[in-house]
Amino acid sequence: MDSYELAFDFALHTDRSLLITGKAGTGKTTFLHRLKEASRKQMAVVAPTGVAAINAGGTTIHSFFQLPLSPFIPTEEGRKNLVAKTRMRSHRRRVLQELELLVIDEISMVRADLLDAIDASLRHFRYRINEPFGGVQVIFIGDMFQLAPVTKEEEWRLLSSYYQGPYFFHSHAILQNPPLHIEFEKIYRQTNSSFICLLNEIRNDSLTEESYRMLEKRYDPLFTPTEEENYIILTTHNYKADRINLEELDKLEGETHTFEAGIDGDYPERNYPTEPSLELKVGAKVMFLRNITLAPTFSSKIGSVG
């Protein structure tokens, strides 16, 4: 049995908590979607950010557990303050009490105190104070080589007395009850072995001379793509991307059409996956953040969609 099927078997047929890791393309997201379809357990999927939550088909951690944004201090007084600040309505309490399986996606971005806050919340609202995560099976999914937790200097001054580091595995919940670690290793997205090797070397900060030369051959500092070639420009900051997009939009002739986002329920603005107002012209290129069915009325209004 390979690691993928082993993890699936543990998730479906045991109550053991799991840590599932693996580099990009090894099937972590596919595993999550398959688990959602196959599991008969009362299941919830959460993630640390709005974009990650949408990609995982779930909700944000703070929204699901109604947690305050302030740091969580893992003391008895801190737990009392957490419960006092949590705006937990009766229907949300029932959801937590009936919960059997919690999946936390993009676990690399989850800070240690946030995971301890989840643990404290489940113990309290499920009335199972002495059980890790209130008796809920937890599956952590992510790649520790990707984004780290956001830790502001003033917040870390408060937390550093209680944690060795900011990562989720520094949390008291993990140190006291380590999950079973399963790593996915087979890459499904790429079949080019030399390219896979190069990507792994970059990921591990161990680039060989041969791989460096392979990259260098593809570098052309004077390269200028034509408009017809439809290259995508990568930038380091959102404001640079916004500037380029506006410049390209201004080059198009015709009327500007504005589309407002439809927002359902309690959805804080800080968790929006994109801007709530979208300005387009006929001929504008649009990159979708997730797969959807393109409605004919939408395409007829915009014209060319790339």
Residue with the bigger pLDDT between 78 and 200: it is 78
Global pTM? 0.73
Q: Where are the alpha helices (DSSP H) in 128-208?
A: 153-159, 172-176, 193-203
Ranges 128-132, 150-154, 274-278: which has the least confidence: 274-278
For residue 132, the Cα-to-chain-centroid distance in whole angstroms is 23
The predicted-structure confidence for 291-304, as pLDDT tens digits, reads as follows 555 444 443 333 33
CB 19 within 8 A of CB 173: no
Average pLDDT (62-80) is 93
The predicted-structure confidence for 211-252, as pLDDT tens digits, reads as follows 999 999 888 888 888 877 778 888 888 889 889 989 989 989
Residue with the bigger pLDDT between 130 and 230: it is 130
In the prediction, which pLDDT does 266 show?
67
Average pLDDT (245-267) is 86
Structure tokens at 150: 């956001």
* For the chain, percent of residues with pLDDT exceeding 70: 90
Average pLDDT (46-60) is 80
Q: How many other CB atoms are found less than 10 A from the CB of residue 171?
A: 26
Confidence of residue 49 (pLDDT cuts 50, 70, 90): confident
Q: How far is it, in rounded angstroms, from Cα 165 to Cα 267?
A: 30
Confidence of residue 195 (pLDDT cuts 50, 70, 90): confident
Give the chain's radius of gyration (CA, Å): 23
Q: How many other CB atoms are found less than 10 A from the CB of residue 301?
A: 13
Q: How far is it, in rounded angstroms, from Cα 262 to Cα 53?
A: 17
**Over 80: is that where the pLDDT of 143 sits?**
yes
Domains of the chain listed by start with CATH number? 3-184 (3.40.50.300), 230-302 (no CATH)
In the prediction, which pLDDT does 271 show?
65
Q: How far is it, in rounded angstroms, from Cα 11 to Cα 35?
A: 8
Confidence of residue 139 (pLDDT cuts 50, 70, 90): very high
In the prediction, which pLDDT does 1 show?
67
* For the chain, percent of residues with pLDDT exceeding 90: 50
